[in-house]
Structure 1
């Protein structure tokens, strides 16, 4: 009987630690941040935020069990379209008759 109670006393803390560890792993699993336009972003995602007339790059993160946006930099990366260029193989548009 004494040996059984010893195993229970020694094994119980291990079970408690395992339960706590598994709970902390899945804590941020279904958590999202909302952008100003209502779009949801998962924890870790990066998005361009526009508030008023200012834009900045931010990352969704967990802070004290609450999702929030962390500012990464001022401004957002912009992609530009290059002006249409004519192909070197066809310097002028071809007309088919």
Structure 2
């Protein structure tokens, strides 16, 4: 049952995105909680990025841990796509008739 509760919390955090990004601190001051990418741009809680660390690439999610935003590995490799040749598919441009 404990595992199911953790799964539900993880799903809710991922689905809510920036809804959990603000924390009210002492005196009612709002503190923004978010991660940053390698260029220093803001990344909201729950967002996924492909990270490269020490020559290794993996998918990571911006999450909170002990009230600190951090990157957590969620997949051991990154998603990728290729625009290379597809066997059996013509590389000639498609010409559509004028209607």
TM-score by length of 2: 0.54
* 1:28-80 CA-partner distances (Å, limit 9, x unpaired): 87211122343321111000010121000000011111001111011101110
**5+ residue gaps in structure 2?**
1-19, 25-30
**5+ residue gaps in structure 1?**
1-23, 90-97
After TM superposition, the runs of 4+ consecutive aligned structure 1 residues lying more than 6 A away are: none
- The number of residues matched between the two structures is 67
Q: Please state if 1:61 is matched with 2:57.
A: no
TM-score by length of 1: 0.55
Q: Please state if 1:32 is matched with 2:34.
A: yes
Query: What is the aligned-residue RMSD (CA, Å)?
Result: 3.0
Provide the rounded CA distance (Å) in 1 between the counterparts of 2:61 and 2:53.
15
Contact 2:21 2:45 in 1 (8 A): no
